[in-house]
Amino acid sequence: MIYLDTHVVVWLYAALTNKLSNQAIEAIENNQLLISPMVQLELQYLKEIGRITTNGALIIKNLNCTIGLELCNQSFVHTITEAIDLSWTRDPFDRLIVAQSHARKIPLLTKDQNILKNSTLAFW
């Protein structure tokens, strides 16, 4: 089981698998795939500011049907408790996505260098 960061979800939806590392592709092919609800919110934000053209719910629905991507339903309170100690970032999306990974002790697939540097569960 692994969590996917927002950019990984966008690349999978857009069929931009050439942006993924070999380790990332292997992890996607061999694990149950989860996302934090913050990924869905960030996708919506990206649509609203014009960085992507499809809304988050549609992206997630499509990836659920094609690759089995699931939205994590872990308690938000538990996630916030973990996020309080993640003072290395001011990005609320990153902070909560990483916190969800830490709360469940499940690896997070990301190319984000700040997350890779600061999260023991992050990998690329």
> Helix (H, G, I), strand (E, B), or coil: what is residue 74?
coil
Dump pLDDT digits (tens) for 53-95: 999 999 999 999 999 999 999 989 999 999 999 999 999 999 9
Are 100 and 79 in contact by the 8 Å Cβ rule? The answer is: yes
Q: What's the confidence (pLDDT) of residue 117? A: 98
Q: Which fold has domain 2-123?
A: Rossmann fold (3.40.50)
Q: What residues does each domain of the chain span?
A: 2-123
Distance CA 114, CA 118 (A): 6
> Tell me: the pLDDT tens digits for 98-117?
999 999 999 999 999 999 99
For residue range 17-34, what is the model confidence (pLDDT) as tens digits?
999 999 999 999 999 999
